[in-house]
Amino acid sequence: MNPFSPTFGASPPLLAGRDAVLEDFAKAIETGTGHPNYTTLYLGARGVGKTVVLNAVEDLARSHGWLTVSESASPEGMLARICAAAQRLLADRRGPAPSRRVKGVRGPGGAGVDFEFDPSDARPEDLRTVLTELGLRLADDSTGLLITIDELHDAPLDRVREFGTVLQHVTRREGLPVAFAAAGLPLIEDTLLTGDAATFLQRCARCDIDFLDGDAAASALQRPIEEAGGSITADALDSAVGAASGYPFMVQLVGFLSWEAAKGQAPAITAEHVAVGVVAAEARLNRQVLEPIWRDLSDVDRMFLLAMSDDDGESHTSAIGERMGVGPQYVGVYRQRLIAAGMVTPSGHGRLRFTHHTALDWLRAKGAAASEQAPS
């Protein structure tokens, strides 16, 4: 059976190159609310494995005996769904009333939290009340709750800020074991995380989920093949790693299609099989990822990308503006749009690169075709 999973959001057979990320989170839940990674934002381009990391973080929390609430951001109902899920968890744990409740928070000079016995068992309605009671009960049991939100960039600004305010109170002020992890595109630094109302989320730890290095990509390819009973030659592995360019989705595509090219229950994958797999993987990446994005772009978005395709490597936004004949502010608007679309990713101050390594040749072909069709 083919061991690879070339589907967005699906966990791969081996989560390579993310050990440090998971270790940081494990330390956070073991240490408590004072650890900086207790609330973390995982940021990266589309297809680099942010959702996979969230899945792994949830599994890690559950392995420590924690409860989890997992949500995806959406324009409507995100907070209501989180609240409903937390209420269900709370209902499962209700019995005797929690042994304590927050009575007050002492300020500087007398820092701490005062608790008192709360005999009531009133059913909470709002998210803050639900999380407070659930957090108290979990604290009594020496465990905790992890809330995760995927695609955070799709959440409405007012809902993100409202959620941040609740977490600020429950996790930081009350010191209750309610941890938080979210995944989103890097553009949230310039959208959701601006302004005074987003103070709590601004203070969340940032973890950049980037492309895999060569060793991690090689492990992500070789180990699943061997564990499934197959094999891959050294030169074939080198070719596969080079073609994937560290892009996790492409790693899965190349692995899957190279296995299929070799055929058999336990194939011996050679460089010839990988060559076939790479051609098919690049065609699928272009068709499944680039073409749909391109169709949804405006004419100016497309002009921006074609201006970038004049460069062999990174592009400077100032050079893009010069080619388009527009100013920095105009470039900045379309830069954000294309990051959100998943076509480009920041590579440093004032610099961009294509998210997908196949995009450069694909765009140059687009530009050449457009030139041929233009009236002379």
Domain boundary (208, 230, 246) is at 208
184 plus 265 within the same structural domain: no
DSSP secondary structure, 178-221, as one string: EEEEEEE-GGGGGTTT-SGGGHHHHTSEEEE-----HHHHHHHH
Q: Residue 123: pLDDT band by 50, 70, 90 thresholds? A: very low
- Residue 143's alpha-carbon distances to 29, 38, 161, 178, in angstroms, are 9, 14, 26, 9
Statement: residue 65 has pLDDT above 80? yes
Q: Using the predicted structure, report yes or no on whether residue 66 has a pLDDT greater than 70.
A: yes
Residue 152 resides in a domain:
yes
How far is the C-alpha of 163 from the C-alpha of 181, rounded, in Å? 12
In a domain, 12, yes or no: no
Assess if residue 2 is contained within a domain: no
The reply to whether 36 and 140 lie within a common domain is yes
Cβ neighbours of residue 8 closer than 8 Å, sequence gap 6 or more: 46, 47, 51, 249
pLDDT digits (tens, 9 = 90+) for 155-190: 888 888 889 999 999 998 999 999 999 999 887 877
Same domain as 357, residue 242 = no
Confidence of residue 103 (pLDDT cuts 50, 70, 90): low
Residue 163: its pLDDT value, please?
Answer: 92
Residues 78 and 177 in one domain: yes
Residue 4 lies in a domain: no
Q: Do 122 and 242 fall within a single domain?
A: no
Percent above pLDDT 70 for the chain:
89
Domain boundary residue among 235, 262, 293? 293
State the CATH number of the domain containing residue 171.
Answer: 3.40.50.300
Q: Where is pLDDT greater, at 280 or 355?
A: 280
Could you count the other beta carbons within 10 Å of the beta carbon of residue 187? 19
* Same domain membership, residue 233 and residue 192: no
- 170 and 30 in a single domain? The answer is yes
Specify whether 128 is located in the same domain as 222: no
pLDDT value of position 118:
47
Sign of CA dihedral 149, 150, 152, 155: negative
Would 257 be classed as within a structural domain? yes
Q: Is the pLDDT of residue 76 over 60?
A: yes
Asked if 274 and 325 sit in the same domain, the reply is no
Residue 69 has φ and ψ, to the nearest 5°, of -125, 120
Are 257 and 222 found together in one domain? yes
Total number of domains in the chain: 3
Please check whether residue 9 lies inside any domain of the structure: no
What domain range is 278 assigned to? Answer: 214-293
Residues 301, 280 share a domain = no
What is the Cα–Cα distance from 335 to 343, expressed in whole angstroms?
A: 10
pLDDT value, residue 191:
73
Residues 95 and 170 in one domain: yes
- Give the model's pLDDT for residue 119: 37
Burial label for 209, CB within 10 Å (0-12, 13-18, 19+), is: buried
Taking every pair of C-alpha atoms in the chain, what is the biggest distance, in angstroms? 84
Residue 105 domain-assigned (yes or no): yes
CATH number of the CATH domain containing 307: 1.10.10.10
Looking at every residue in the chain, the average pLDDT score rounds to 87
Residue 167 CA to its chain's centroid (Å) = 20
What would the DSSP string read from start to end of 333-362? HHHHHHHHHTSEEEEETTEEEESSTTHHHH
Q: Which long-range contacts (CB under 8 A, 24 or more apart) does 192-201 make?
A: 192/152, 192/153, 192/155, 192/157, 192/160, 197/161, 197/164, 197/165, 198/160, 198/161, 198/164, 199/164, 199/168, 200/39, 200/164, 200/165, 200/167, 200/168, 200/172, 201/41, 201/160, 201/161, 201/164
Query: Is residue 63 included in any domain, yes or no?
Result: yes
Last residue in a domain, options 184, 208, 232: 208
